[in-house]
Amino acid sequence: MSHPVTGIDHCYLLVNDLDTSLAQFQRLGFTISPRGLHSASKGTANHTIMLSHNDYFELLGVANPTPENAPRRALLQKDGEGLYAMAGRIEDAEEGKKQLKELGVEVSNVQRFDRPVTLPDGSEGVAAFSIFSFPAEKVPVGIAFVCQHHTRETVWLPELMTHKNGAVALAGMVARYDEPEKAANDYAKLFAAGSVAAVAGGWSVDTGNVPVIFLDADALQHRYGTLETARTPASGFAVLQILVQDLAVTRAVLDASQTPFQPTSNGIAVDPSLASGAIIEFIQG
C-alpha cells in the first residue's frame, strides 16, 4: 500500500489580529487575497498568499470566539501568534485515510468544508476542501493535517500569484525542538518521501517538496543571529522559508517599506516582530 501524502500543500500562521498581519505581510511585498470567512461554528477568517509553484500559506485569525475555535484561542494565549500548522498534499482524502489506516497511521475522520471567495469580476465563488488531522500526540511540533482541494480554480487565482518581492514557492519550515532527531523521525512518518538527514544542529525531513528542519535552540539562534527566535511560538514552527526569483528585488522591496532584515546563510530574513510571530526567510531559487 502506497503512502498518499506526497508533500506539503500549505501552512498557516495563527495570528492575533488579521488587520495587523495583513499590513505586515503587505509591507513584506506579498499579494494577499481578500479576507475569507469560515462557517459560523468555526468562527475564523483568513487571508491566503498564493504561490505560483503550486503551494501557499495563509494568515488565520479568530473572527468570533466559538467552542470550535477554543483550541486556537488557547494556543494564542499560551504561546502567542506564529507559524503553527502545515497541511500535507493529498489527492483524495477519503481514500487517503483508508491507505494510512492500512499503513498503521492514525488519523481523524474526514471533514469537508467550504468558504466564500471573491472572484476577479467581483462575483462570489466557493473554495471547498476535505481535510483530516494527525493526532496531536503523534506530532511533536505544531499541527499537522492533510488537505484535498475540490475547487483549485477558485484558490489559485492568477492575479494573486504575482508578488512584488518575487515569491514563487514555499522553500522550507524550521522548528525549534530539544530532540530534533526524534521530531524529524516522527514527522517523516507523515509523508510518502519521509526520509531524514542530519544538518548542522539538527535534522531535516524530505516531505517530497518542502523540507521541514528541526534544530535545537542553540542551533536555531546561531543560524538566525540577532533575530528574536524566542518570540516564535514554542509549540509551533519558528521559520517560514520563501523561494524568490531574485534576492536583489526582495531587498529593494523591504528597503522601500523600511522593513529591516539580516543576511543568513541562505538569503535574508525578517524578525518575527515584523511578521506575526514567524521569522520569514527569503531564499533565491
Is residue 119, in this structure, part of any structural domain at all? yes
Residue 209 is predicted with a pLDDT of: 97
Task: Label the pairing between strands 195-199 and 262-263.
Answer: unpaired
CA distance linking residue 59 with residue 117, whole number of Å: 15
Which of 3-7, 103-107, 122-126 is the least confident region? 122-126
Q: Is 266 helix (H, G, I), strand (E, B) or coil?
A: coil
Is residue 268, in this structure, part of any structural domain at all? yes
**Which residue's C-alpha cell is 503551494?**
55
The reply to whether 50 and 184 lie within a common domain is no
Q: Is 152 helix (H, G, I), strand (E, B) or coil?
A: helix
For the cut 80, the answer to whether the pLDDT of residue 142 exceeds it is yes
Q: Is 127 helix (H, G, I), strand (E, B) or coil?
A: strand
**Which residue's C-alpha cell is 524566542?**
230
For the cut 80, the answer to whether the pLDDT of residue 266 exceeds it is yes
Residue 196 is predicted with a pLDDT of: 98
* Averaged confidence pLDDT in the chain: 95
> What is the per-residue pLDDT across 42-80, written as a single tens digit (0 to 9) for each?
999 999 999 999 999 999 999 999 999 999 999 999 999
The reply to whether 88 and 67 lie within a common domain is yes
Is residue 272, in this structure, part of any structural domain at all? yes
How would DSSP label each residue in 37-106? E--TTT-EEEEEEEETTTEEEEEEEESS--STTHHHHHHHHHH-SEEEEEEEE-S-HHHHHHHHHHTT--
For the cut 90, the answer to whether the pLDDT of residue 285 exceeds it is no
Is residue 248, in this structure, part of any structural domain at all? yes
Domain end: 132, 160, 188, which one? 160
User: CA Rg, the chain, in Å?
Assistant: 18
The reply to whether 137 and 21 lie within a common domain is yes
Task: Label the pairing between strands 111-118 and 279-284.
Answer: unpaired
CA distance linking residue 246 with residue 282, whole number of Å: 10
When pLDDT is averaged across residues 240-258 and rounded to a whole number, the result is: 98
> What is the per-residue pLDDT across 206-238, written as a single tens digit (0 to 9) for each?
999 999 999 999 999 999 999 999 999 999 999
Residue 117 is predicted with a pLDDT of: 86
The amino acid at 91: E
Domain membership of residue 93 as a residue range: 8-160
CA distance linking residue 258 with residue 206, whole number of Å: 35
Report yes or no: 279 and 241 within 8 Å, Cβ to Cβ. Answer: no
> What is the per-residue pLDDT across 70-112, written as a single tens digit (0 to 9) for each?
999 999 999 999 999 999 999 999 999 999 999 999 999 999 9
Torsion of Cα atoms, 217 then 218 then 220 then 222, to 10°? 160
Check residue 29 and give left, alpha or beta (phi > 0: left; psi -120 to 50: alpha). Answer: left
Report yes or no: 269 and 262 within 8 Å, Cβ to Cβ. Answer: yes
Is residue 50, in this structure, part of any structural domain at all? yes
Is residue 1, in this structure, part of any structural domain at all? no
Q: Identify the band that residue 1 occupies on the pLDDT scale cut at 50, 70 and 90.
A: low
CA distance linking residue 32 with residue 279, whole number of Å: 18
**pLDDT above 70 coverage of the chain, percent:** 100
Q: Identify the band that residue 118 occupies on the pLDDT scale cut at 50, 70 and 90.
A: confident
DSSP-derived secondary structure letter, 33 = P
CATH label of the domain that carries residue 202: 3.10.180.10
Q: Identify the band that residue 116 occupies on the pLDDT scale cut at 50, 70 and 90.
A: confident
When pLDDT is averaged across residues 115-122 and rounded to a whole number, the result is: 83
Dihedrals φ, ψ of 9, to 5°?
-85, -50
The reply to whether 143 and 20 lie within a common domain is yes
Residue 191 is predicted with a pLDDT of: 97
Report yes or no: 266 and 106 within 8 Å, Cβ to Cβ. Answer: no
Report yes or no: 238 and 232 within 8 Å, Cβ to Cβ. Answer: yes
